[in-house]
Amino acid sequence: MAETAALAKAKPVPMTQVRIADAFWDDYIRLVKDVVVPYQWEAINDRVPGAEPSGAVRNFKIAAGLAQGDFYGFVFQDSDVAKWLEAVGYLLAKERDPDLEAVADGMIEIIAQAQQPDGYLNTYFTIKEPGRRWTNLMDCHELYCAGHMIEAAVSYYRATGKRRLLDVVIRFADYIDSVFGPEEGRLNGYDGHQEVELALVKLYEATEDRKYLRLAQYFLDARGTSPSFFEHEADGRGRRSHWGFTHRELELAYFQAHRPVREQTEAVGHAVRFAYMVAGMADVAAETGDEALLAACRRLWDNMTERQMYVTGGIGSMAQGEAFSFDYDLPNDTVYAETCASIGLVFVAHRMLQIEPDAKYADEMERALYNTVVGGMSLDGKHFFYVNPLEVDPKACGGRNKKFDHVKPVRQEWFGCACCPPNVARLLASLGEYVYAVKDDTVYVHLYVGGEADFRLPRTELKLIQRSDYPWSGSISFEVHPNQADASFTLALRLPGWSPSAVLRVNGEPIDYRTANGYARIERTWRAGDIVSLELEMPAMRLRCHPAVRANVGKTAIQRGPLVYCLEQADNGEALHELVLPATGELKVREAAHLLGGVRVIEAEGIRARAEPWNGGLYRPDAILRETGQNLTFIPYYAWANRGEGEMAVWVREC
């Protein structure tokens, strides 16, 4: 392993130093604290009436010897408890809460008791197949669950300073480190679902023990090498999968194990696994200065965002395998675009931003965040999308039409495989980490989220107060409070790709500024109370899609600021596919304070084009297209499906 120097990376500002106070996000974060996290606790304790049981907490109790019974749920059920704890950690970092902390401490105690004497921790194998640890890494998510528990431990430790869970995962990680590796006599393998890689880097950052970084790098280095570990492993168990069928041929690309990670060129396979892998790759590249790994990250990022990403920031267009399909294949209706995959995209973007602050990463991070991620949750915090379609006809969903089985026209209460809701919870609870970064004497503002933050620069400390009505308005202001006179540092404000022009003022005076990689850099000597105001032009605009995307040919999508808009049946009537938006014509922005929690809608004069009259039969040579004017109302995509079941479309025909 090359022990090269770490890259000089920008550091995110820890949760404890960022206090979000933002009209848009406060509601979501409050929902996470007041609704999602409490609900999730009930869910993993099997106390939600009418819901499918989870078994997750009970599994830990059984493994700890505190309850009797059999393991219940998916093989990765442990990760639900871990994600819950991780979200709790972020909430506590924002604001301590003794009651919540007591509940979490109790859970942590059970987890600690479920840990085996040698450090192993996994309730499925402990309860159900005690002799079969590490025999099916491809299917069984053992290291994936370990990774989530490590992330939980780091989050909880950083928030509370309590080491109980951190010590548990250190013992577990040490044990994993003794099992895996390229050396003779060790298991030369890796997990079917990437996650432990990025988690081990977090553990390294928390403990400063380089062993964990090396282990993360080992898992990445081993992946996809020849001969294939998964093939070898499958042979060892008679090619039987965990689910009982026989693998004749393994689809190694599903696991991104088809070739060494440094040689991968395209986003392939299961989208969440892919994104978590690239996040781990970026982490290791940043810490080791591994240029080949970093080049692979850039290549995979570019392929993902420039050829395989929906305008909503969704990735993984194929239900089969929850996977990427191929370049420019982005169907709007049979789409997958799992909420967790967009969260993974946010993770990757966040890490790439630390390595090379470039607005192209922040732009897509913002796109995923304000559209698919937030859209994954209902306005009441109680319903979730797993799949995020860009076009829905409720008639096509459910029933006997299996092609759309995975697409739900309204958000669901919870899921048997409950990965998305807790993933949304942990991301929103940790949103503070995504807003700023510091590198040398530059403060980067990646996201326009109101609140206060404290920064420690090499030569000064400062407080920054951000205020805005984002994403509704592009007027953002910053109040700068260095803790010393004549503090000299750079404030680098992202100029979003969607904004045609920006005006920057300091204390009311327009200033000249240098732009580097999409950031306006204000280099000056600051005085307490300096006001920076940024005016981002935020027009409602028509987007066109790359001509190779068949699904969007002849169509346009509306975006304003970071928000992608859509047509809903509730505003525009049935048969949205009959609607056409002229290529010219005003897009009017209207404030709708009482709609969907308060949004701005976009209105335009459109056309309903319908072949009429139509009496029987499917195909007619004499059908005449009748066009009638219709006012079109677009709402933000994230807010769709909050008014019952109905059609929705992001892309609309253009004429």
62 or 368: whose CB is closer to a second copy?
A: 368
For residues 156 and 92, is the Cβ–Cβ distance under 8 A?
yes
Closest approach of a second copy to the CB of residue 404, in Å? 8
For residues 447 and 361, is the Cβ–Cβ distance under 8 A?
no
130 or 613: whose CB is closer to a second copy?
A: 613
47 or 620: whose CB is closer to a second copy?
A: 620
Of 460, 429, 432, 458, give the one whose Cα is nearest residue 445.
Answer: 432
Closest approach of a second copy to the CB of residue 97, in Å? 41
Strands 487-494 and 442-445: parallel
| Structural tokens at position 155 | 């989050």
Angle between helices 210-222 and 164-179 (to 10 degrees): 50
CA 463 vs. chain centroid, Å, equals 28
Number of Cβ within 10 Å of residue 654's Cβ equals 16
196 or 540: whose CB is closer to a second copy?
A: 540
For residues 90 and 159, is the Cβ–Cβ distance under 8 A?
yes
181 or 394: whose CB is closer to a second copy?
A: 394
556, β-bridge pairs: 652
Q: How far is residue 144's CA from residue 444's CA, in Å, rounded to a whole number?
A: 32
Closest approach of a second copy to the CB of residue 435, in Å? 24
| Structural tokens at position 525 | 């000597």
Closest approach of a second copy to the CB of residue 610, in Å? 5
| Structural tokens at position 235 | 């042979």
Q: How far is CA 588 from CA 319, 584, 629, 633, in A?
A: 36, 12, 16, 9
Catalytic residues: 322, 419
Of 36, 55, 34, give the one whose Cα is nearest residue 46.
Answer: 55
30 or 550: whose CB is closer to a second copy?
A: 550
17 or 334: whose CB is closer to a second copy?
A: 334
Local structure of 134: helix, strand or coil: coil
Q: How far is residue 376's CA from residue 424's CA, in Å, rounded to a whole number?
A: 8
Local structure of 576: helix, strand or coil: helix
Of 310, 288, 287, 291, give the one whose Cα is nearest residue 299.
Answer: 291
81 or 319: whose CB is closer to a second copy?
A: 319
Closest approach of a second copy to the CB of residue 362, in Å? 15
Local structure of 58: helix, strand or coil: helix
For residues 482 and 460, is the Cβ–Cβ distance under 8 A?
yes
141 or 542: whose CB is closer to a second copy?
A: 542
142 or 338: whose CB is closer to a second copy?
A: 338
Q: How far apart are the first and last CA of the chain?
A: 58
| Structural tokens at position 219 | 């898992």
534 or 551: whose CB is closer to a second copy?
A: 551
Number of Cβ within 10 Å of residue 4's Cβ equals 11
Closest approach of a second copy to the CB of residue 632, in Å? 16
Closest approach of a second copy to the CB of residue 467, in Å? 27
Closest approach of a second copy to the CB of residue 239, in Å? 16
Closest approach of a second copy to the CB of residue 422, in Å? 28
93, β-bridge pairs: none
| Structural tokens at position 198 | 């990025």
Closest approach of a second copy to the CB of residue 158, in Å? 36
Residues whose CB falls within 8 Å of the CB of residue 603, separated by 6 or more in sequence, listed in order: 587, 588, 590, 631, 632, 633, 634
Q: Tokens 């689910």 — which residue?
A: 243
Closest approach of a second copy to the CB of residue 286, in Å? 25
Helices (H), 289-442: 291-307, 339-355, 359-367, 374-375, 420-429, 432-435
For residues 31 and 381, is the Cβ–Cβ distance under 8 A?
yes
Phi-psi region of 157 (alpha: psi -120 to 50; beta: other; left: phi over 0): alpha
For residues 566 and 635, is the Cβ–Cβ distance under 8 A?
yes
Residues lying near a second copy in the complex (CB under 8 A) are found at: 251, 253-254, 268-269, 305-307, 309, 311, 318-321, 323, 325-326, 329-331, 333-334, 393, 395-396, 399-403, 498, 500, 541-550, 553-554, 557, 559, 575, 577-578, 580, 583, 609-612, 614, 616-621, 623, 625, 653, 655
Q: How far is residue 542's CA from residue 582's CA, in Å, rounded to a whole number?
A: 10
Closest approach of a second copy to the CB of residue 325, in Å? 4
Of 448, 404, 272, give the one whose Cα is nearest residue 347.
Answer: 272
Q: What are phi and psi of 504, to 5 degrees?
A: -115, 135
For residues 51 and 415, is the Cβ–Cβ distance under 8 A?
no
Q: How far is residue 164's CA from residue 239's CA, in Å, rounded to a whole number?
A: 39
332 or 466: whose CB is closer to a second copy?
A: 332
